[in-house]
Amino acid sequence: MPGMSDPTMQSLLGSVERVDGLPGLPADLSWSPDGTRLAAGLGDGPVVIIAAGGSPDAISVLAGHDGGTTSVAWRPRDADLVASGGLDGAIRVWSASGAHAARVQEVSPIDWVQRVAWRGDGALLAGIAGRALVVLDDDGITRRFDDHESTLTDLAWHPRGRAIAVSHYGGLTSWSPRHADGTPRRFRWKGSSLRLAWSPDGRHVATGDQDSTVHFWIMKNGKDLQMWGYPRKVQELSWDSLGRHLATGGGPEVIVWDCSGAGPAGTEPLVLDVDGTPLVAVAFAPAGRAMAAVTDGGTLAVWDMRAPISAGGQVELPAAATALAWSPDGRRVAVGDAGGGVSVAGIAA
Amino acid sequence: MTTDDRVPVTVLTGFLGSGKTTLLNRILTEEHGKRIAVIENEFGEIGVDNDLVVNADEEIFEMNNGCICCTVRGDLIRILSTLMRRRERFDHILIETTGLADPGPVAQTFFMDDELAERLRLDGIVTVVDAKHVWQHVDDAPEVAEQVAFADVILVNKTDLVDPPDVDRLEGMLCTMNAVATVHRTTHGEVDIDAILAIGGFSLEHALEVDPAFLQPTYPFEWAGVFGAGDDDLVIDLDPGPDEAIDLLALSVSEASPAALDEVLAVATPVFTDGPAAIASGGVMVPGHTARLDVGDQGASIAVHSSGAVAIFTQHGPDEFRMRFRRGIAPTEPAAARGFAPDHEHDESVTSVGLTALGDLDEDRLKEWLGTLLQEKGVDIFRSKGVLSIAGEPRRYVFQGVHMLMDGTYGAAWGGDERRSTLVFIGRDLDREALEQGFAACRA
């Protein structure tokens, strides 16, 4: 089902090239800081390094995680190191060039690692497994926070690295890794929070929830705001680079909230259609004005957020999308698909 | 019909020691060509030898969905979503639950999560029962009754350790609790794999296979007899009995035969409970309407205004009021008669209630009744299934539900088939009479 694109629409999309034949479905994608390579964590286990400067090309296949890789994160300011987590309950740090062996950190004997994320300066790596949040430095685990009442579903660093927020059934918990005996801040909501995103200005944490709602937590005072009416559970969230707009999925349309001024309460969000099938991911470019979304129906859509109704573009992928990631300069976007491929689309300046 | 390419999921429940893990390992080692992923609770009895085993931690989440509150298994949502990223690697999923797990949240998970419902289909719940030791648990562990109530298939396992009459007794008890489950007797969990992995217990097409005959229904009357045609009215004479009054119903039948009696039984219940009209001795009963005859301490007589073959249903057995029958003045006997045990022999709290009615139901009243019922009693109704004939609708309405959650659709057309509605509820402390009355009130 191709999305009908308005012929008068200014197309943002340049060429789209795809590498396929990967040994599994990309569950997560992460770009190298210089935008020349991509790490793809596959649901079947391996981590694949893809050269993405020109036509995408798989250059090495790393063992990854037995049972499946859930998360990959290229280390900030580092051309070589990629962290990954997976069903084997371990966090691994790989050398993309194969220059040295992977570092392995066993986190849990029974629970898998759901997500790994580096602090912005690349000095610390956080991961979640079961009810535990762990923080690693170059020597291994430096902090372990086990005090959660249910399994952790997502994690995000404060944009300036001051704290780590984790989501779970019952809301959010925020930890400060600098204080060994730090007490956490609890943000309670009687529901199952699935994903979270910390706004780049640090003011808000948004969560997507199982009960088809989105929550905005104001971190300063712990107040929250709930947005209803989503057709499905919300697992797709992205802040723009200024922290003003939040794009959400939770169904076939991208819903964009304006969180400036008094916040999104009572405001009308912008609603953008793609192809009528459920969204798999939405993401604002880390730089520039573009936003992208991919769907289960296999469409990549991009919008120029200065004029989202009239400027953008869509392209059909060969299979349902599974992951989405912007290059650090916002000039290219990578999409993983259920056909075992990764496409890289150029974005017109 | 489009083919359903969703991955089937089987839920395996049963008490600790019932042989669940032995069965699981049998399934995994058998040559069936299926690649099976296993989700195991962390307290598995023994390890499972499979290339894909994931540990579940039984996290029960409450979910609010408009006016319906229910519980789901958050861990399963997370695990199954992650497993679906390995789509090419398996074609069946087995979920083993702990011996103390309530199957409700597991089943509800498949109703409540769109992503899972689109990619997976709950094929059935299999409950393993230890034929020897189940008696120790059934009264003091409510989980046993729940697991039996939820089951599509019950394996009565370890039958080699028990005498056949005891297995019969156990099977009788299981049938009372869950009248629609298929029961297999096994030793060491030896059972045909398709009996476990291809059940279709939650498929709406299979809801069409609800057979009211399975349900051993109880009736609001204790006796029924059919009488042949005659020139004079049929008269019933009664002596004083244990009650002041007795409810009686006459229904016209095509012939006075056992078959005709069985045939008319299906429609008698709702009519019988449908608000009797008081009649004094010497009055006349019209076929099709229930009469409440005042017998008092003098006895009474009542005539049935019908010269054709007729079936009589009485609230109490004939001997309790020394009932006699005559045509005019000539005494007569029923051509066929049946007694029905009153419905207070079992005090098990988990039972099945089957309801059936010939003809159509009124859609609005049905929705109102079912909606209210599931809202108010949904906690105690574990499973429900039905095939309904809605007035003015050429197709069968089929539905199945778990607690308050229901999934329904229009299925095959009635065509020339006799239109009838059949419903089954399996639950705890079900008020059969109230259900029958509520259902009867939905008739168009």
Task: List, for residues A191-242, the tens digit of each pLDDT value.
Answer: 999 999 999 999 999 999 999 999 999 999 999 999 989 999 999 999 999 9
Residues of chain A found within 8 Å of residue B88, distances taken between Cβ atoms: 44
A211 contacts in chain B (CB < 8 Å): 63-65
For residue A103, which phi and psi values (nearest 5 degrees)?
-90, 135
pLDDT at B46: 52
Residue B65: list chain A partners with CB under 8 A: 211
* Coil, strand or helix at A168: strand
The 8 Å CB, 24+ separation contacts for B203-206 are: B203/B121, B203/B123, B204/B398, B204/B399, B204/B400, B204/B407, B204/B408, B204/B409, B204/B411, B205/B398, B205/B411
Q: Does A210 sit within 8 Å of B63, measured CB to CB?
A: yes
CB–CB contact B82 A68 (8 Å)? yes
Phi, psi of B424 (to 5 degrees): -130, 130
* pTM score, whole prediction: 0.79
Say how many CA atoms lie within 13 Å of A109 toward its Cβ: 1
Lowest mean pLDDT, pick from A322-331, A335-344, B52-61, B303-312: B52-61
* Distance in angstroms (rounded) separating the CA atoms of residues A317 and A333: 13
| Residue for token pair 């191709």 | A2
How large is the average pLDDT for residues B371-395?
Answer: 93
Say yes or no for a CB contact (<8 Å) between B64 and A68: no
Q: Which residues in A lie closer than 8 A to residue B105 (C-beta atoms)?
A: none
The pLDDT score that the predictor gives to residue A134 is 96
Smallest CA–CA distance from B85 into chain A, residue: A43
Q: How far is B68 from chain A (nearest CA, A)?
A: 12
User: 10 Å Cβ neighbour count for B243?
Assistant: 12
Under the banding of pLDDT at 50, 70 and 90, the label for residue B180 is: confident
Residues 17 through 56 of chain A touching chain B, CB cutoff 8 Å: 24-25, 27, 43-44
Interface list for A 231-250 with B (CB within 8 A): 231-233
Q: Which residue has the tokens 């308050």?
A: B404
Neighbours of B350 (CB within 10 A): 23
User: Are residues A239 and A199 in contact, defined by beta-carbon separation less than 8 angstroms?
Assistant: yes
pLDDT of residue A200: 95
Q: Which amino acid is at A28?
A: D
pLDDT score at B133: 86
pLDDT exceeds 60 at position A321:
yes
| Minimum Cα–Cα distance from B37: chain A residue | A67
Average pLDDT for A10-31: 92
Distance CA B26, CA B255 (A): 54
Question: CB–CB of B86 and A68 under 8 A?
Answer: yes
Give the nearest chain B residue to A336 (CA atoms). Answer: B85
- The per-residue pLDDT of chain A, averaged, comes to 92
Best CA proximity match to B210, nearest among B428, B426, B431: B426
Residue of higher predicted confidence among B207 and B367? B367
- Tokens 């250059």 belong to residue: A59
Q: What mean pLDDT do residues A295-301 have?
A: 96
- Long-range Cβ contacts of B433-439 (<8 Å, 24+ apart): B433/B220, B433/B273, B435/B353, B435/B355, B435/B373, B436/B220, B436/B269, B436/B270, B436/B273, B436/B355, B437/B273, B438/B369, B438/B373, B439/B270, B439/B355, B439/B357, B439/B369
- Compute the count of residue pairs across chains A and B with CB atoms less than 8 Å apart: 66
Q: Say whether pLDDT at A49 is over 90.
A: yes
- What is the bridge-based pairing of β-strands B405-413 and B395-402? antiparallel
Chain A residues lying within 8 Å of B75, measured CB to CB: 151
Instruction: Round to whole Å and give the CA distance between A141 and B2.
Output: 52
Name the strands in the sheet holding B277-279, side by side, starting at the edge strand that comes first in the sequence.
B277-279, B290-294, B245-252, B310-314, B223-227, B336-339
The Cα B312–Cα B261 span in angstroms is: 9
Helix (H, G, I), strand (E, B) or coil at A346: strand
